[in-house]
C-alpha cells in the first residue's frame, strides 16, 4: 500500500487542470459529429415508418436523460417519470388547445409557447414533490413517487375537460415554429425529397434532443453536477461544502420533471393524440416508468450518453420488431398469449438489465469508457 | 486570512440524563494548530458536532470571529470560512480527485442548472479559474499526479489528503479535522502529520484537530485541550498537558492501548 502512495507523490511536470485534448477526445468529437450528420441525413433516405420509430427513440432519449440526472447523478430513485410525461403532454395540449370549446379547456397559445409552458408546468410539479423527496430516500422514495403514477391515472380519467377522457382523447395542436408548420402543409424539398410532417417532426425532435443533451452534459460537468453527486454520495459532506441538500434535491427533481415534461410533449406530438390510460399499463403507466429506469440502468446510471443508447434500445426495439414483423410475417398471433413485439422486447430489455447488473453494473457507459480508455495512453488507474 | 478566533464558551450538551459536554470552554487562536483530544467517549466528537452545527448545544455559545455560530446550519459553515474534513473521508468514489476537490469551491461559485447547462461565458471562465486553484491545492497536498484519477482508486492515505484538499478548497480561515489518523498505520500517520504541519506553515490558517492518536497530536499541536467525561481536564501547550497527572490518569486509567494502536 505504501509504495502505491509513493508513486502518487512523484511530482509530474505541469499537471493539467483539464484533461488534455488527446486523441481519444478528438475521436469522440468526430464520432458525435458523424452521428449528428447521419441523423440529419436519415430523413432523405428512410421511409416514414422508420422515421416514426426513430422519433419514438428520441422521445425516450429526452425522458431518459432527465431520469439519469435525477436517479443516476443525484441518487434519487423515481418511479414517477410517467406521471410527469402525462403532465407535460396534457399541459401542451391544454395550453395550445383552441379556446371557446364548451367541453375542453384550451388557452390557444402559440405551440412554441405551449411547449415551453408545458416544460415549466412539469418543472413546477416536480418542485411540488420536493418536500416528499427531501424526507425519503432510496426505495421508499421510489414507492412514494410511484403513487404519482396512480394519481395521474385517476386525474387523466376524471379531468376530461383537460385530457379529453379515455374514450376519445384529445388531439394536440400540431407544432409550429414562427409560422412554419410541422405538418403536411406547404411545399418543401431537400435534394428532391419532399419534407413532409414526418420529416419535419424528425428534425424538431432531433433539435430538442440535441438541446436537452447539451444542457445535461454541461450541467453534469459543472458546479450543479458536482452538487448532485455530492448529495448522492454523502449528504453531510455535501452540506459541509455549502450545499443546501434539500434545495439541491428539489432542484434536480424539477430539472428531471422538466425533461419528462418535454418527453411528454413529444409523446403527444408523436401519437398525434392525447389519450389518458384506461389502466395502470399504457402510454403513461407504470410500465413506462419502469421502461425509463431500464433505459438508464442499461445505459449506465448517471451517464447522459448512456441514457441515449438505453432509450434507443428500450424504445426502439418494439418499434423495429413491429416493422420487421410485417416483412417477415412474425407475430401474426393475436389475443392475450400472442408474442407481440412489445412482449418480446420486454423480455429482451429485462434480460439486458439482468446482464448489466450481473456483469457490468456501470452499464453500457462503463463499457464505452473502457473502449475509450484503449485509445488513451494509460496512466489511468488500474 | 487568519484573524478570526474560534471560541467555545461554556457549552453543555445533554443526551437525556447524560451530560456529553459539561461547560466546555476553549479557544482556537488565529493561526494556531489546536488539538482536542481525549479517551474514547470523552465528548470529542460531540464537541466537534456542536461546532459544525450537527448538534445544538443546550447551553453556551460557539463564536467564530464576531459571528455567533451556535447551532449554525452545517451548509453555512463554508460561507463563514470554516472548512471541514471527515473521519471517513466521505468522497465521491467514482468522481475524479479534481472533481471532488472542486466541490469545495461550491460556495465560492455560482450558477444553477441552466447557467451550467448553457455553458455561459462567465460560467466557463469561473470554472477555469477555480479549476486552476483546485489543481494548485491538489498539487500542494501531493495529489498533482492523481488529478484525473477516480478518488475510489486511491490508497487510503491519498484519499485522506483529497478530503483535506476539498476542505482547503473552501479557502477556510479555520480547518476542522475530525480524527484524520483514524484507521491509519504508523507510516501513514507520520505522513499525515507532515501534511498538517505543512498546511499550517504555508497557509496561515487555524486548525482544530480532533484526534485520538496522542503521538500525532503531541508532535504538531501548539495547544491541546483534553476532554474526559465531557469536561475539560487540561488545556495548554503539549509538553505541559502531557505531564499533567489528570491527563495521564484519564488515558492510562481508562484505555491503556490508546494512541499506540495502529489501525
Delimit the domains of chain B by residue range.
Answer: 1-81+175-263, 91-171
- Chain A: give the shortest CA distance to residue B17, in Å: 27
What Å distances lie between residue B249 and B40, B44, B254, CA to CA?
14, 18, 8
Please report the ipTM that was assigned to this predicted complex.
0.87
Question: Which residues in chain A are closer than 8 Å to B74, comparing Cβ atoms?
Answer: 236, 239-240
Number of H helices, E strands in chain A: 17, 4
Q: Does B32 touch chain A (CB under 8 A)?
A: no
The rounded Cα A161 to chain-centroid distance in angstroms is 28
Q: How far apart are CA B102 and CA B17, in angstroms?
A: 43
Contacts of A16 in chain B (CB under 8 A): 135, 147
Portion 197-236 of A in contact with B at CB < 8 A? 214-219, 221-227, 229-230, 232-234, 236
Residue of B180, B151, B159, B14 lying closest to B85 (CA atoms): B180
- Interchain contact, A244 vs B86, CB within 8 Å: no
Contacts of B9 (CB under 8 A, 6+ apart): B25, B60, B61, B62, B63
* DSSP β-bridge partners for residue B232: B227
Where b means 16+ CB within 10 Å and e means fewer, B228-261 reads bbbebbbbeebeebbebeebeebbeeeeeebbee
CA distance A137 to chain B (A): 18
Q: Cα dist. B125→A25, A32, B149 in Å?
A: 21, 25, 24
* Phi, psi torsion values for B19, nearest 5 degrees: -90, 100
Distance from CA of A114 to the nearest CA of B (A): 20
* Nearest Cβ partner for B187 among A2, A8, A224: A2
Of A8, A18, A226, the CB nearest to B103: A226
Q: Is residue B142 less than 8 Å (CB to CB) from chain A?
A: yes
pLDDT value at residue A79: 92
Cβ–Cβ < 8 Å for B57, B230: no
**According to the model, what pLDDT value does residue A335 have?**
57
| Chain A positions in Cβ-Cβ contact with residue B147 (cut-off 8 Å) | 15-17
The A residues from 12 to 31 touching B (CB cutoff 8 Å) are: 12, 15-19
- Would the pLDDT of B26 be above 50? yes
**Kind of pairing between the strands at B59-64 and B67-68:** antiparallel
What is the mean pLDDT of the segment spanning B215-223? 86
Whether the per-residue pLDDT at B167 is higher than 90: the answer is: yes
Report which secondary-structure segment, H or E, holds A330. none
- Beta-carbon separation of A236 and B74 below 8 A: yes
> For position A329, what pLDDT does the model report?
61
Give the per-residue pLDDT at A89.
94
The predicted structure's pLDDT at residue A121: 96
Q: Are strands A193-194 and B18-28 parallel, antiparallel or unpaired?
A: unpaired
Place of cell 428532391: A192
What digits encode the pLDDT tens for the residues A284-300? Answer: 888 899 999 999 999 88
Nearest chain B alpha carbon to A243: B75
Q: How confident is the model at residue B215 (pLDDT cuts 50, 70, 90)?
A: confident
Query: What percent of chain B is predicted at pLDDT more than 90?
Result: 32
Measure in Å the smallest separation between the Cα of B167 and chain A Cα atoms: 8
Pick out chain A residues at pLDDT < 70.
1-21, 326-338, 373-382
User: Which residue, among A75, A123, A122, A124, has the nearest Cα to A296 in the 3D structure?
Assistant: A75
What confidence score (pLDDT) does residue B262 get?
38
Query: Per-residue b/e over A312-341, b at no fewer than 16 CB within 10 Å?
Result: bbbbbbbbbbbbebeeeeebeeeeeeeebb
**Chain A within 8 Å of B183 (Cβ-Cβ)?**
no
Spatial CA neighbour of A216 closest among A63, A7, A40: A63
Return all residues near B130 (Cβ < 8 A) that are at least 6 apart.
B102, B105, B108, B109
Check pLDDT > 90 for residue B2: no
User: B78 CA to chain A: closest CA distance, Å?
Assistant: 5
Q: Helix, strand or coil for residue A339? A: coil
Helices A304-328 + A341-359 axis angle, to 10: 140
Query: How confident is the model over A111-140, as pLDDT tens digits?
Result: 999 999 999 999 999 999 988 888 888 889
A175 and A269 Cβ atoms separated by less than 8 Å: yes
Whether residue B256 is predicted with pLDDT greater than 70 in this model: the reply is: no
- Superfamily of B1-81+175-263 according to CATH: P-loop containing nucleotide triphosphate hydrolases (3.40.50.300)
Q: Do A234 and B106 touch (CB under 8 A)?
A: no
User: What's B96's DSSP letter?
Assistant: B
A358 touches B: beta carbon within 8 Å? no
Residue A38 main-chain phi, psi, to 5 deg? -60, -45
- Cross-chain Cβ contact A241/B166 below 8 Å: yes
**pLDDT value of residue B259:** 46
The Cα of A134 is separated from the nearest Cα of chain B by a number of Å equal to 15
Contact assessment for residue B25 and residue B232, using Cβ atoms and an 8 Å cutoff: yes
Which residue of chain B is at minimal alpha-carbon distance from A230? B92
Q: Picking from A316-325, B126-135, B248-257, which range would have the lowest pLDDT averaged per residue?
A: B248-257
From the centroid of its chain, how far is CA B24? 19
- Which of the residues A69, A226, A257, A306 would you substitute to probe the B interface, choosing the one with the greatest number of B C-beta atoms within 10 Å? A226
Contact between chains at B116 and A244 (C-beta distance less than 8 A): no
Q: Does B148 touch chain A (CB under 8 A)?
A: yes
For residue A255, the chain B residue with the least C-alpha distance is B113
CB B215 within 8 A of CB B12: no
Find, in chain B, the residue whose alpha carbon is nearest to that of A214. Answer: B117
How high is the mean pLDDT of chain B? Answer: 86
Amino acid at each position: 500500500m505504501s509504495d502505491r502512495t509513493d508513486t502518487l507523490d512523484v511530482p509530474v511536470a505541469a499537471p493539467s487542470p483539464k484533461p488534455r485534448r488527446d486523441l481519444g477526445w478528438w475521436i469522440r468529437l468526430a464520432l458525435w459529429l458523424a452521428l449528428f450528420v447521419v441523423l440529419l441525413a436519415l430523413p432523405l433516405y428512410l421511409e416514414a415508418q422508420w422515421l416514426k420509430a426513430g422519433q419514438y427513440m428520441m422521445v425516450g432519449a429526452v425522458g431518459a436523460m432527465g431520469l439519469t440526472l435525477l436517479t443516476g447523478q443525484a441518487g434519487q430513485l423515481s418511479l414517477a417519470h410517467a406521471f410527469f410525461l402525462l403532465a407535460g403532454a396534457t399541459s401542451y395540449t391544454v395550453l395550445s388547445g383552441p379556446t371557446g370549446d364548451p367541453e375542453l379547456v384550451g388557452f390557444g397559445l402559440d405551440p412554441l409557447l405551449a411547449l415551453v409552458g408545458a416544460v415549466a408546468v412539469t418543472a413546477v410539479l416536480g418542485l411540488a414533490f420536493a418536500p416528499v423527496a427531501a424526507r425519503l430516500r432510496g426505495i421508499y422514495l421510489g414507492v412514494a413517487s410511484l403513487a404519482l403514477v396512480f394519481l395521474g391515472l385517476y386525474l387523466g380519467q376524471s379531468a376530461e375537460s383537460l385530457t379529453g377522457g379515455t374514450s376519445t382523447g384529445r388531439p394536440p395542436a400540431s407544432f409550429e415554429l414562427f409560422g412554419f408548420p410541422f405538418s403536411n402543409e406547404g411545399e418543401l424539398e431537400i435534394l428532391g425529397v419532399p419534407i413532409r410532417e414526418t420529416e419535419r417532426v424528425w428534425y424538431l425532435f432531433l433539435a430538442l434532443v440535441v438541446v436537452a443533451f447539451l444542457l445535461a452534459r454541461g450541467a453534469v460537468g459543472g458546479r450543479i453536477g458536482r452538487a448532485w453527486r455530492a448529495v448522492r454520495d454523502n449528504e453531510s459532506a455535501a452540506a459541509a461544502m455549502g450545499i443546501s441538500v434539500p434545495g439541491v434535491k428539489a432542484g434536480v427533481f424539477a430539472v428531471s420533471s422538466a425533461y419528462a415534461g418535454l418527453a411528454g410533449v413529444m409523446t403527444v406530438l408523436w401519437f398525434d393524440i392525447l389519450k389518458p390510460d384506461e389502466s395502470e399499463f399504457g402510454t403513461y403507466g407504470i410500465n413506462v416508468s419502469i421502461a425509463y429506469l431500464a433505459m438508464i440502468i442499461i445505459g449506465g446510471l448517471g451517464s447522459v450518453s448512456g441514457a441515449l443508447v438505453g432509450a434507443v434500445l428500450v424504445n426502439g426495439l418494439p418499434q423495429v420488431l413491429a416493422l420487421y414483423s410485417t416483412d417477415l410475417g412474425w407475430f401474426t398471433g393475436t389475443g392475450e398469449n400472442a408474442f407481440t413485439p412489445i412482449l418480446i422486447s420486454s423480455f429482451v430489455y429485462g434480460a439486458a438489465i439482468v446482464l448489466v447488473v450481473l456483469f457490468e453494473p456501470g452499464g453500457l457507459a462503463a463499457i464505452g469508457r473502457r473502449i475509450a480508455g484503449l485509445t488513451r495512453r494509460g496512466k489511468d488507474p488500474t | 486570512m487568519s484573524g478570526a478566533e474560534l471560541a467555545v464558551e461554556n457549552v453543555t450538551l445533554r443526551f437525556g440524563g447524560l451530560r456529553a459536554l459539561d461547560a466546555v470552554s476553549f479557544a482556537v487562536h488565529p493561526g494556531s494548530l489546536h488539538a482536542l483530544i481525549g479517551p474514547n467517549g470523552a465528548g470529542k466528537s460531540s464537541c466537534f458536532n456542536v461546532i459544525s452545527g450537527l448538534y445544538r448545544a443546550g447551553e453556551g455559545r460557539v463564536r467564530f470571529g464576531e459571528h455567533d455560530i451556535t447551532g449554525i446550519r452545517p451548509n453555512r459553515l463554508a460561507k463563514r470560512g470554516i472548512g471541514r474534513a471527515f473521519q471517513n473521508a466521505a468522497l465521491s468514489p467514482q468522481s475524479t480527485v479534481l472533481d471532488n476537490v472542486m466541490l469545495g469551491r461550491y460556495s465560492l461559485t455560482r450558477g444553477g442548472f441552466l447557467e451550467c447547462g448553457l455553458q455561459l461565458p462567465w460560467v466557463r471562465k469561473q470554472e477555469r479559474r477555480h479549476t486552476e486553484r483546485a489543481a494548485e491545492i491538489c498539487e500542494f497536498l501531493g495529489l498533482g499526479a492523481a488529478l484525473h484519477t477516480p478518488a475510489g482508486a486511491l490508497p487510503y492515505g491519498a484519499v485522506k489528503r483529497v478530503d483535506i484538499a476539498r476542505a482547503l478548497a473552501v479557502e477556510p480561515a479555520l480547518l476542522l479535522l475530525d480524527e484524520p489518523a483514524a484507521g491509519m498505520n504508523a507510516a501513514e500517520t507520520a505522513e499525515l502529520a507532515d501534511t498538517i504541519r505543512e498546511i499550517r506553515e504555508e497557509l496561515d490558517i487555524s486548525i482544530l484537530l480532533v484526534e485520538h492518536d496522542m503521538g500525532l497530536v503531541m508532535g504538531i499541536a501548539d495547544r491541546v485541550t483534553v476532554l474526559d467525561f465531557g469536561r475539560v481536564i487540561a488545556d495548554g501547550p503539549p509538553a505541559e498537558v502531557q505531564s499533567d497527572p489528570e491527563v495521564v490518569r484519564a488515558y492510562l486509567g481508562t484505555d491503556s492501548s490508546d494512541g499506540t494502536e495502529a489501525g
